[in-house]
Amino acid sequence: MPYFKQPKHIQSLLILYWPLCYVIIFWIVNPFFIYLLFTSLWLLPTLYFVWYVLDWRTPDQGGRRSAWVRNWYIWTHIRDYFPITIVKTKDLSPEHNYIMGVHPHGILTYGAFCNFCTEATGFSKIFPGITPYLATLSYFFRIPLIREYLMAKGVCSVSQPAINYLLSCGTGNLVGIVIGGVGEALQSVPNTTTLIFQKHKGFVRTALQHGAHLVPTFTFGETDVFNQAVFHKDSRMFKFQSWFRRVFGFYFCVFYGRGFRRGSVGLLPYPLPISTVVGEPMPVPKIKDPSQEVVDKYHTLYKEALKKLFDQHKAKYGLSETQELLFL
């Protein structure tokens, strides 16, 4: 059993803020806005919803990031809870655009969020001239208020129009895509390095269409901060998880970590180091309509680059030299 440092109480409270804030907005703030429609303050929600309708294309056109939100002090507490770090292996030139593969998904993707959606680990100083975006489910941008919060942090829709826009307007844009998608969350078990990858080739095709360089990354420790109950594919619980994904777009994962007291069980992640290693950018040619053969070629090259990155750094971040990266 690994030793867990005891985070400060403020860190333990704020680590819950990030996932719970979405629940609060969805189940409390949005219903309250609807309630205001039937009060003397009806004009406030009315104006917002009119603006929401007129503004519906913004998530697909670069969003509306806020340097103020990305620099909130709360993100440094989340960073220090684990702690979370970002490791640069090569410079990224502002003269190019990039598609960054984010691996693995984990349960709540703490590493990618803290490194690319906030300035807590100093992304802008480490990669000057590069504007990072982290792509997530388009569904979230249809939810009032949540869409504003996501866009402020530099989160974009994973839809094709949104990614095409970012890779077509100027240079210095980096779009992070969790290649394994939400299905990879079910693979998030401590001491495993399993990626859902083999059939996911759309990111390579998009990179070729825009001539965007491919950047492999691997976040060591992402899958270790929670334990997860894994269910057999024939079980009722797995069928429920599959139904939940069809309805809501992501899996209902049964996971647990530590509680507020030492040695207790709860929903706090284990305070173990999370390190995102950003690999060397891989140039690709710009091909308007790449053949499947070309897509397969660069998909294989990316896979080899990711495996090389993993093998070069695994021992440094707590894995054994014999640990292998498994591609499903």
- pLDDT tens digits, 73-92: 999 999 999 999 999 999 99
Mean per-residue pLDDT of the chain:
92
CA angle (226 as vertex; 221, 230 as ends), nearest 5: 115
Q: Does the pLDDT value for residue 8 go beyond 50?
A: yes
Q: Does the pLDDT value for residue 3 go beyond 60?
A: no
- pLDDT more than 70, % of the chain: 98
Residue 229's pLDDT is: 86
Report residue 238 as tokens: 């797995």
Lowest-confidence segment of 94-103, 254-263, 265-274 by average pLDDT: 254-263
Average pLDDT over residues 189-210: 94
Average pLDDT over residues 244-268: 83
57 DSSP 8-state letter: T
Average pLDDT over residues 177-184: 90
Confidence of residue 234 (pLDDT cuts 50, 70, 90): confident
Confidence of residue 263 (pLDDT cuts 50, 70, 90): confident
Average pLDDT over residues 199-214: 97
Report residue 219 as tokens: 């976040």
Backbone φ and ψ of 238, nearest 5°:
-65, -40
Average pLDDT over residues 212-230: 94
Residue 6's pLDDT is: 56
Confidence of residue 302 (pLDDT cuts 50, 70, 90): very high
Residue 1's pLDDT is: 44
Distances (CA, A) of 182 to 26, 99, 141, 242: 20, 18, 17, 11
Average pLDDT over residues 152-158: 95
**Distance (Å, rounded) from C-alpha 313 to C-alpha 316?**
5
32-59: per-residue pLDDT in tens? 989 999 999 999 999 999 999 999 999 9
Report residue 181 as tokens: 């998608």
Average pLDDT over residues 191-207: 94
Q: Does the pLDDT value for residue 60 go beyond 90?
A: yes
Contact (CB, 8 A) for 76 and 124:
no
Residue 253's pLDDT is: 82
Q: Does the pLDDT value for residue 4 go beyond 60?
A: no
Average pLDDT over residues 255-275: 88
Report residue 73 as tokens: 């002090």
> In 3D, which of 151, 131, 132, 133 has the Cα closest to residue 141?
151
**Distance (Å, rounded) from C-alpha 111 to C-alpha 103?**
10
> In 3D, which of 222, 249, 223, 251 has the Cα closest to residue 238?
251
- Please name each of the domains of the chain with its CATH number: 9-327 (3.40.1130)
Residue 134's pLDDT is: 96
**Distance (Å, rounded) from C-alpha 166 to C-alpha 99?**
10
> In 3D, which of 110, 111, 127 has the Cα closest to residue 281?
127
